[in-house]
Structure 1
Protein backbone atom coordinates (compact mmCIF):
# COMPACT_ATOMS: atom_id res chain seq x y z
CA UNK A 1 0.00 0.00 0.00
CA UNK A 2 1.25 3.49 -0.82
CA UNK A 3 2.15 5.80 2.03
CA UNK A 4 0.00 8.84 2.82
CA UNK A 5 0.64 11.85 0.58
CA UNK A 6 1.12 14.09 3.63
CA UNK A 7 2.63 12.92 6.91
CA UNK A 8 3.74 14.84 9.98
CA UNK A 9 7.41 14.21 9.14
CA UNK A 10 6.89 15.80 5.70
CA UNK A 11 6.68 19.24 7.33
CA UNK A 12 9.51 21.54 8.42
CA UNK A 13 8.68 24.77 10.28
CA UNK A 14 10.55 27.90 11.34
CA UNK A 15 13.25 27.40 8.73
CA UNK A 16 15.97 30.05 8.47
CA UNK A 17 16.20 32.26 5.41
CA UNK A 18 17.93 30.52 2.50
CA UNK A 19 18.36 30.88 -1.24
CA UNK A 20 15.67 29.52 -3.56
CA UNK A 21 17.76 26.60 -4.85
CA UNK A 22 18.67 25.66 -1.27
CA UNK A 23 14.95 25.59 -0.40
CA UNK A 24 14.24 23.38 -3.42
CA UNK A 25 17.14 21.11 -2.36
CA UNK A 26 15.71 20.92 1.18
CA UNK A 27 12.31 19.95 -0.24
CA UNK A 28 13.86 17.37 -2.58
CA UNK A 29 16.00 15.89 0.21
CA UNK A 30 12.90 15.52 2.39
CA UNK A 31 10.99 13.86 -0.47
CA UNK A 32 13.93 11.43 -0.82
CA UNK A 33 14.20 10.83 2.94
CA UNK A 34 10.48 10.09 3.18
CA UNK A 35 10.76 7.58 0.33
CA UNK A 36 8.71 9.41 -2.32
CA UNK A 37 11.42 10.00 -4.93
CA UNK A 38 14.96 9.10 -6.01
CA UNK A 39 17.93 11.43 -5.52
CA UNK A 40 17.76 12.46 -9.19
CA UNK A 41 14.37 14.13 -8.67
CA UNK A 42 16.13 17.28 -7.38
CA UNK A 43 17.74 17.80 -10.80
CA UNK A 44 14.32 17.48 -12.42
CA UNK A 45 12.88 20.05 -9.99
CA UNK A 46 15.64 22.48 -10.99
CA UNK A 47 14.97 21.79 -14.66
CA UNK A 48 11.29 22.68 -14.07
CA UNK A 49 12.37 25.96 -12.45
CA UNK A 50 14.46 26.82 -15.51
CA UNK A 51 11.49 26.09 -17.80
CA UNK A 52 8.77 27.72 -15.74
CA UNK A 53 8.70 29.48 -12.39
CA UNK A 54 6.80 27.60 -9.68
CA UNK A 55 5.87 30.59 -7.53
CA UNK A 56 2.05 30.70 -7.65
CA UNK A 57 1.30 33.81 -5.59
CA UNK A 58 0.09 34.45 -2.03
CA UNK A 59 3.55 33.59 -0.70
CA UNK A 60 3.53 30.03 -2.09
CA UNK A 61 5.96 28.14 -4.32
CA UNK A 62 5.32 24.58 -5.49
CA UNK A 63 8.53 23.13 -6.91
CA UNK A 64 8.06 19.80 -8.68
CA UNK A 65 9.64 17.74 -11.44
CA UNK A 66 9.21 18.17 -15.17
CA UNK A 67 6.94 16.13 -17.39
CA UNK A 68 8.58 12.74 -17.72
CA UNK A 69 9.99 12.72 -14.18
CA UNK A 70 7.51 10.02 -13.13
CA UNK A 71 10.23 7.35 -13.40
CA UNK A 72 11.96 9.02 -10.44
CA UNK A 73 8.80 9.01 -8.28
CA UNK A 74 8.26 6.00 -6.04
CA UNK A 75 4.93 7.21 -4.64
CA UNK A 76 2.96 10.47 -4.54
CA UNK A 77 3.70 12.87 -1.73
CA UNK A 78 4.17 16.47 -0.66
CA UNK A 79 6.53 18.18 1.73
CA UNK A 80 5.88 21.57 3.30
CA UNK A 81 8.64 24.03 4.21
CA UNK A 82 7.59 27.03 6.29
CA UNK A 83 9.66 30.23 6.35
CA UNK A 84 8.16 32.72 8.81
CA UNK A 85 10.25 35.56 7.39
CA UNK A 86 9.89 34.39 3.80
CA UNK A 87 12.59 33.76 1.21
CA UNK A 88 13.33 35.43 -2.09
CA UNK A 89 11.82 33.30 -4.84
CA UNK A 90 12.75 35.03 -8.09
CA UNK A 91 11.77 38.44 -6.77
CA UNK A 92 8.71 37.18 -4.89
CA UNK A 93 8.53 36.42 -1.18
CA UNK A 94 7.68 32.78 -0.48
CA UNK A 95 6.60 31.77 3.02
CA UNK A 96 5.64 28.23 2.09
CA UNK A 97 7.56 26.01 -0.30
CA UNK A 98 5.53 22.89 -1.05
CA UNK A 99 7.52 20.21 -2.83
CA UNK A 100 5.35 17.87 -4.89
CA UNK A 101 5.88 14.40 -6.32
CA UNK A 102 2.90 12.95 -8.18
CA UNK A 103 2.80 9.46 -9.64
CA UNK A 104 0.38 8.53 -12.45
CA UNK A 105 -0.84 12.12 -12.90
CA UNK A 106 -1.74 12.37 -9.21
CA UNK A 107 0.21 15.63 -9.16
CA UNK A 108 -2.74 17.30 -10.90
CA UNK A 109 -5.07 16.32 -8.06
CA UNK A 110 -2.44 17.33 -5.48
CA UNK A 111 -1.94 20.72 -7.17
CA UNK A 112 -5.69 21.26 -7.30
CA UNK A 113 -6.10 20.56 -3.57
CA UNK A 114 -3.19 22.85 -2.70
CA UNK A 115 -4.58 25.61 -4.95
CA UNK A 116 -7.98 25.37 -3.24
CA UNK A 117 -6.34 25.89 0.15
CA UNK A 118 -3.82 28.61 -0.69
CA UNK A 119 -6.01 30.71 -2.97
CA UNK A 120 -7.12 32.46 0.23
CA UNK A 121 -4.37 34.60 1.77
CA UNK A 122 -5.89 34.05 5.22
CA UNK A 123 -5.30 30.30 4.90
CA UNK A 124 -1.66 30.97 4.00
CA UNK A 125 -1.32 33.36 6.95
CA UNK A 126 -2.72 30.72 9.33
CA UNK A 127 -0.18 28.17 8.11
CA UNK A 128 2.70 30.66 8.33
CA UNK A 129 1.73 31.57 11.92
CA UNK A 130 1.93 27.93 13.06
CA UNK A 131 4.79 27.14 15.44
CA UNK A 132 4.87 23.35 15.14
CA UNK A 133 4.65 20.82 12.33
CA UNK A 134 1.63 19.29 14.12
CA UNK A 135 -0.21 22.63 13.90
CA UNK A 136 0.58 22.88 10.16
CA UNK A 137 -0.46 19.26 9.58
CA UNK A 138 -3.75 19.67 11.47
CA UNK A 139 -4.57 22.89 9.59
CA UNK A 140 -3.88 21.33 6.19
CA UNK A 141 -5.95 18.26 7.01
CA UNK A 142 -8.82 20.43 8.29
CA UNK A 143 -8.70 22.70 5.22
CA UNK A 144 -8.73 19.74 2.85
Structure 2
Protein backbone atom coordinates (compact mmCIF):
# COMPACT_ATOMS: atom_id res chain seq x y z
CA UNK A 1 0.00 0.00 0.00
CA UNK A 2 1.47 3.34 -1.10
CA UNK A 3 1.52 6.54 0.87
CA UNK A 4 -1.12 8.24 -1.23
CA UNK A 5 -3.58 5.31 -1.20
CA UNK A 6 -5.91 7.22 1.07
CA UNK A 7 -6.52 9.62 -1.80
CA UNK A 8 -7.11 6.95 -4.46
CA UNK A 9 -10.56 6.91 -5.94
CA UNK A 10 -12.01 3.74 -7.41
CA UNK A 11 -14.18 3.66 -10.49
CA UNK A 12 -17.55 2.25 -9.36
CA UNK A 13 -17.74 0.01 -12.41
CA UNK A 14 -14.23 -1.36 -12.00
CA UNK A 15 -13.71 -2.09 -8.31
CA UNK A 16 -10.45 -3.92 -8.98
CA UNK A 17 -8.98 -0.88 -10.69
CA UNK A 18 -7.02 1.16 -8.15
CA UNK A 19 -5.69 3.98 -10.29
CA UNK A 20 -5.25 7.17 -8.33
CA UNK A 21 -6.75 10.36 -9.59
CA UNK A 22 -4.40 12.41 -7.40
CA UNK A 23 -1.44 11.58 -9.70
CA UNK A 24 -1.75 10.44 -13.30
CA UNK A 25 0.78 10.13 -16.12
CA UNK A 26 -0.52 13.44 -17.52
CA UNK A 27 0.73 15.17 -14.36
CA UNK A 28 4.31 13.88 -14.70
CA UNK A 29 7.08 15.45 -16.81
CA UNK A 30 10.44 13.70 -16.96
CA UNK A 31 13.96 14.63 -18.05
CA UNK A 32 13.26 18.35 -18.26
CA UNK A 33 15.96 20.87 -19.14
CA UNK A 34 16.92 23.31 -16.39
CA UNK A 35 14.80 26.45 -16.01
CA UNK A 36 14.42 29.05 -13.30
CA UNK A 37 12.40 28.08 -10.26
CA UNK A 38 9.51 30.44 -11.08
CA UNK A 39 9.12 28.83 -14.52
CA UNK A 40 9.23 25.39 -12.91
CA UNK A 41 6.56 26.31 -10.35
CA UNK A 42 4.39 27.77 -13.11
CA UNK A 43 4.77 24.57 -15.14
CA UNK A 44 3.85 22.40 -12.16
CA UNK A 45 0.82 24.60 -11.51
CA UNK A 46 -0.18 24.68 -15.18
CA UNK A 47 -0.24 20.87 -15.26
CA UNK A 48 -2.74 21.02 -12.40
CA UNK A 49 -4.78 23.64 -14.27
CA UNK A 50 -4.71 21.75 -17.57
CA UNK A 51 -5.87 18.55 -15.89
CA UNK A 52 -8.76 20.20 -14.05
CA UNK A 53 -7.43 20.17 -10.49
CA UNK A 54 -7.16 23.92 -9.95
CA UNK A 55 -8.12 27.26 -11.46
CA UNK A 56 -5.42 29.54 -12.96
CA UNK A 57 -5.40 31.72 -9.83
CA UNK A 58 -3.97 28.85 -7.78
CA UNK A 59 -0.69 29.07 -9.70
CA UNK A 60 -0.29 32.67 -8.51
CA UNK A 61 -0.80 31.38 -4.96
CA UNK A 62 2.02 28.89 -5.51
CA UNK A 63 4.34 31.70 -6.58
CA UNK A 64 3.25 33.86 -3.62
CA UNK A 65 4.03 31.01 -1.19
CA UNK A 66 7.48 30.59 -2.70
CA UNK A 67 8.05 34.33 -2.35
CA UNK A 68 7.48 34.18 1.40
CA UNK A 69 9.09 30.85 2.27
CA UNK A 70 11.07 28.37 0.22
CA UNK A 71 9.31 25.08 -0.47
CA UNK A 72 12.65 23.31 -0.91
CA UNK A 73 12.53 20.31 1.44
CA UNK A 74 16.09 19.02 1.07
CA UNK A 75 17.48 15.92 -0.64
CA UNK A 76 16.94 17.59 -4.05
CA UNK A 77 13.17 17.91 -3.59
CA UNK A 78 10.90 20.97 -3.62
CA UNK A 79 7.17 20.79 -2.92
CA UNK A 80 5.55 24.05 -4.02
CA UNK A 81 1.94 24.63 -3.02
CA UNK A 82 -0.44 27.55 -2.82
CA UNK A 83 -1.13 29.95 0.01
CA UNK A 84 -4.10 29.43 2.31
CA UNK A 85 -5.90 32.17 0.40
CA UNK A 86 -5.38 30.24 -2.85
CA UNK A 87 -7.12 27.11 -1.53
CA UNK A 88 -10.43 28.46 -2.82
CA UNK A 89 -9.15 27.80 -6.36
CA UNK A 90 -8.63 24.06 -5.80
CA UNK A 91 -11.27 21.95 -7.54
CA UNK A 92 -9.82 18.54 -6.62
CA UNK A 93 -6.80 17.26 -4.71
CA UNK A 94 -3.89 16.51 -7.04
CA UNK A 95 -0.13 16.59 -7.43
CA UNK A 96 2.15 17.22 -10.40
CA UNK A 97 5.72 16.02 -10.67
CA UNK A 98 8.61 17.53 -12.62
CA UNK A 99 11.98 15.83 -12.91
CA UNK A 100 15.13 17.87 -13.57
CA UNK A 101 18.13 15.47 -13.86
CA UNK A 102 20.59 18.40 -14.09
CA UNK A 103 18.83 20.25 -11.28
CA UNK A 104 17.51 23.78 -11.00
CA UNK A 105 18.63 26.55 -8.67
CA UNK A 106 16.19 26.97 -5.80
CA UNK A 107 18.24 29.66 -4.07
CA UNK A 108 20.58 29.54 -1.08
CA UNK A 109 22.69 26.89 -2.84
CA UNK A 110 19.76 24.44 -2.99
CA UNK A 111 19.48 22.39 -6.17
CA UNK A 112 16.09 20.87 -6.95
CA UNK A 113 15.95 17.75 -9.13
CA UNK A 114 12.40 16.74 -8.26
CA UNK A 115 9.61 19.31 -8.00
CA UNK A 116 6.22 18.12 -6.76
CA UNK A 117 3.38 20.64 -7.06
CA UNK A 118 0.54 20.14 -4.57
CA UNK A 119 -3.09 21.20 -4.59
CA UNK A 120 -4.82 19.75 -1.54
CA UNK A 121 -8.42 20.35 -0.56
CA UNK A 122 -9.18 20.69 3.15
CA UNK A 123 -6.75 18.72 5.30
CA UNK A 124 -5.38 16.79 2.30
CA UNK A 125 -2.68 19.43 1.84
CA UNK A 126 -0.84 18.80 5.12
CA UNK A 127 -1.22 15.05 4.88
CA UNK A 128 0.24 15.00 1.36
CA UNK A 129 3.15 17.23 2.44
CA UNK A 130 3.94 14.97 5.38
CA UNK A 131 3.69 11.80 3.31
CA UNK A 132 5.84 13.14 0.47
CA UNK A 133 8.43 14.42 2.93
CA UNK A 134 8.60 10.93 4.44
CA UNK A 135 9.05 9.23 1.06
CA UNK A 136 11.62 11.76 -0.11
CA UNK A 137 13.75 11.30 3.01
CA UNK A 138 14.73 7.88 1.66
CA UNK A 139 17.76 8.72 -0.50
CA UNK A 140 17.56 5.59 -2.66
CA UNK A 141 13.87 6.11 -3.47
CA UNK A 142 14.42 9.79 -4.15
CA UNK A 143 17.38 9.08 -6.44
CA UNK A 144 15.25 6.58 -8.33
CA UNK A 145 12.46 9.15 -8.75
CA UNK A 146 15.00 11.73 -9.96
CA UNK A 147 16.52 9.48 -12.63
CA UNK A 148 13.83 7.13 -13.91
CA UNK A 149 12.25 7.46 -17.34
CA UNK A 150 9.31 5.31 -16.21
CA UNK A 151 6.16 7.20 -15.16
CA UNK A 152 4.64 3.93 -13.92
CA UNK A 153 7.53 3.52 -11.47
CA UNK A 154 6.94 7.03 -10.13
CA UNK A 155 3.26 6.32 -9.66
CA UNK A 156 4.04 3.03 -7.89
CA UNK A 157 6.44 4.79 -5.51
CA UNK A 158 4.03 7.60 -4.65
CA UNK A 159 0.64 5.90 -4.81
Q: TM-score, normalised by structure 1?
A: 0.92
Give distance in 1, aligned partners of 2:149 and 2:26: 15
Is 1:7 paired with 2:31? no
> Out of 89, 94, 110, which is 1:92 matched to?
110
Cα RMSD between the aligned structures?
1.3
| Corresponding pairs, count | 140
- 2:152 matched residue in structure 1: 134
Unaligned runs of 5+ residues in structure 1 are none
Residue in 2 that maps onto 1:47: 64
Question: Take 1:52 and 1:31, find their aligned partners in 2: how far apart are those partners?
Answer: 21
Q: Could you say which residue in structure 1 is the equivalent of 2:143?
A: 125
Give, in angstroms, the shift of residue 135 of structure 1: 2.6
2-side partners of 1:41 and 1:130: how far apart? 29
Counterpart among 101, 106, 109 of residue 119 in structure 2: 101
Contact 1:5–1:78 (8 Å) recurs in 2: yes
Is this contact kept in 2: 1:11–1:137, CA < 8 A? Answer: no
Residue 122 (structure 1) shift: 1.4
Report deviation, 1:133: 1.9
Q: Distance in 2 between matches of 1:140 and 1:108?
A: 16
Q: How do 1:28-43 and structure 2 match up within 5 A?
A: 28-43=45-60
Higher gyration radius (CA): 2
Deviation at 1:123, TM superposition (A): 1.2
Q: Secondary structure at the match of 1:136?
A: helix
Task: Work out the CA distance in 1 between the residues paired with 2:80 and 2:63.
Answer: 8
Aligned counterpart for 1:114 among listed residues 127, 132, 142:
132
Distance 1:140 1:4 in 2: 12
